[in-house]
Amino acid sequence: MAYRLPEFNLDVDIYSGPWLTRVLRVETVGNLSWGHRQHWVDSNAGNVQQGRYTPWMNVLLPALTDVRPGLHTEFGDSMEIPSGSGRWYGVFAVDDIGKGFDNEHRCAVVTQLSELAAQGLDGLRWPLPMP
């Protein structure tokens, strides 16, 4: 049995640019997942600060979706998933899954954006209770 495409069940907004002047660049659909219930932590990437642990997540997207990673320890695009929810993620890495096959899709590795998870995002708070 061939590997199937994931179900793209959430609306995803992809923004570019500095946080305070970000611009909506792509409206698409995606699947926010924890993968195989495994995660990794890179303390040099800014996801562990002030004793707070922020997990990395995967966002599975349709093939060729224009999503841009950061460089080294910087985040690239930001995403709101689901759209309009106030749940913000920063894109750290992007690559393709199943490249060249019928089940090709894109994966963005992301982490929650908040004042503790990313410097320079003053005032960014996730909604409570979390939708």
* 3 state SS for 52-86: EECCEEEEEEECCCCCCCCCCCCCCCEEECCCCCC
What is the residue-level pLDDT of the chain in tens, covering all 131 positions? 467 889 999 999 999 988 888 899 999 999 999 865 554 555 555 444 444 556 788 999 999 999 999 876 677 999 999 999 989 999 989 999 999 999 999 999 998 887 555 565 666 777 778 77
Nearest to 32 by CA among 108, 100, 103: 108
Q: Using an 8 Å Cβ cutoff, are 23 and 14 in contact? A: no
Distance CA 3, CA 60 (A): 14
Nearest to 83 by CA among 5, 13, 4: 13
Specify the pTM. 0.81
